[in-house]
Structure 1
Amino acid sequence: MKRWIAIGAALTLGLAACSDPSAAPEAGSGAVTWADPTAKLDGVKLVIWAAQNSNTVPTSVVDAFQQATGATVEVVTVPDPYEQSVQTKVATGDKPDLAFWQPTASMLTAINARTNLQPLTDAPWLSSLDPALKDITGLLDGTRYAALVTSPAVEGVYYNKEVFAAQGITATPKNFDEMITLARSLKAAGVTPFHEMGADRWATQWWVQIQLADAARAGLWDRINSGQAKFTDPDVVRTIETYDGLIREGLFNSDIKTARFEDQGTALLDGKAAMVVQVNSFFGQLQAKADTATLDERIGFFPISPSGNVGTFIPDQSNALVAFKTGDAQREAAARQLLAYWMGPGYQAFITDRNTVSLETAVPSPAGVPKALLDVHAALPTAVGSMQALAVANPDLYINLADMIAGTMTPQQVAAATQDQFVQLAKAAGYLK
């Protein structure tokens, strides 16, 4: 959910403590030793920070690790807004042993990874990961700081199979233009093609980012990072104008300005809308509303981009953990050991408990994982990075787009405001002069 929007003032706070990104890593940030995952840790206490939507993720694996090693592990829920709260705590010297954290370069920079985090470059489970996922995220300037534990989110289209079938639609769109053509035919038949949550705002940016997937593959975010390209360039502005035009055309729910995240799930599940452009957390909402059999019957997923069925990946804080440098060598080693247990002997039980997709080639996904989630995961090997994954800073694009939906900004103003904030944040991080 909101785990992709921790930027603005909070990111500036985190960057204020950051070192120059061009500086060499500090001494001692190289390879570390890894204990046996089940080695005894009697008397050792570890603290994991988690958000309100990730605090139950580690429950089963923490219980098993405590039984196997004798360690004590406490999961502490940090209040929302999670990323801002964590950055504030860390800036004052308050650090846990481990924390859930968005494993993107921009958010690793925001947490000042070189100074605050343990490197995980030589982690023993990396060779077990699906090769397509091993280096998809968690890296900053070539050093691994985050351990991916669940499948990263993908921006794409969730659709109601029954609505499609009722309209005689037997195949999903093969590119963005085909999707819009299909949407227009649905509208002509009296069906609401798309549902958007303008009031909760954070998902509005997916519509721009899926249109930029091909450009992202061609290096758009590298060019924006270096100042060679801007959000105000015609190709980027055009994606915002397209989104605005589709809304004005009436291809979205009539209550788009006031609709919320919860409304999206209800609308799609009940067939009141045919499609929703969203990420994995949206499916989590659907799972809370219906059982797997119902979801498999009603809900499908396809990735989309201008050129084809290309997804845009966007890992969030519930997907990964980081281990902090606390200054206590025993606890630092124990934190690494917990990660090694999690992704080693404890991994099969963990994904079974979470009923989620396996990241490791030798560990099968549980039989009860819904088909749509398997399709989301299958999109990852060919997916491209999102703004959050590849940009050095993440401006408030979603807020500006929501203001556009509300009628207080034009597409051009959205682009200009987003560019101005990006420059401010990138300069604070030392990436732009």
Structure 2
Amino acid sequence: MNGETKNHRNGIAINTQKFDLFRNTFNGIVEASFASTCLLVAIRYFEASDTLKSLLAGGGSIGFLITPLFLLLIGRSKLPVSILCSILMFCAAFGILISASATTSWFYAGSVLIACVLAVQVPSLMVHIYSNNYNSNERGRKISSNLMLSAIVGCFTALLIGYLLDKDLNHFRAIAIVTFFLCVATGYFHLKIPSKPLKSTSEGLFKDLIRAIKDRLFFWMLTGWMLMGIGNLITIPLRVEYLANPVHGLNLSNTMILIITMVVPLICRVLSTPFWGWAFDNFNLAFVRIYINLFFLLGLFCYFQTHNLLLLIISSAMIGTATGGGTMAWALWVTKVAPKGRESTYMSIHSFFTGIRGLPAPFIGYWILTNHGPGQVSWTSAILISLSCLVFLKLSPNKRLKQKSH
């Protein structure tokens, strides 16, 4: 690589990190607003059914299910990836805006789901940008710094939203309007990130799935991720339900619920992200995933076994630490496993299976909680995550998991 080419590539990496920093800042507020308001408003304002709450919790999973088809279609376009991401965020913004006018639980859920389905298409596109714009030995470090800022602004957002909702639940409408503008800003900064048109290597979902099965490492990685994902995803809506619903004996204030479910995990996510980024760049991916799993296992198990406020906070801290690594590993692991040039295809299959496990998981979680209680939720989660650890331990000798990303 000559000096001019190297300088050009360095310039692309610098611009990518700079504008991705701005994007993550605004997106952190948008995501925190989503996570803070949706279930609380559904539970306490609209008094939604378990079915509707499960649909809200599974909104992202619905989006992941259509990711392979989405990538196949847009792969034929000549638009740069950053423009496609921007269009998705602009459209998601309007879904958020519409939710501000909701008068029924189903209208509210429908508009939020539309926004969510559109927004979750972005990570599969961003992995294409990261693969092209960053060197293999710097992706974890560069992305972790931006994710840290996203988590920091998310903490303050959750605190503010909790305070506003405690004052008046109807404030969710004003929150949605502000979130609309922030989502538009996220889309704007997507436009500034250097990118090329997506060259789709997808041959269709069925053929891509066959390829995934033939790649034994990828297949078993997906299996381990599936077990871990179900163990985690069945608990996500229940973490709010457990604290908010008086049936379970807690019935905490909106602010305290968001401190436990959002603020504490986000702080720990910020503090742990640099470590996970360093670990991802330098260590065997299987062991990194196992360590992340163990934090999830301990945190989730303890969370549903106690009514003690301090233990709930400690459990949330462990969950947040795990989320710091899990978010990064979810977004980047295919760059270590996928053949060069097929990262987006592998990512689309990974996203598809995220949808497969994520859509039924909230329904399963609510069924376990309703019929067997919160204690059984923690045992189910622990068993699934333990099985996932065994899968990754079995895969750890594979040389592809020890290598640097492409």
TM range (shorter): under 0.3
TM-score of the aligned structures, taking structure 2 as reference length = 0.25
More helix by share: 2
TM-score of the aligned structures, taking structure 1 as reference length = 0.24
Higher Cα Rg, which structure: 1
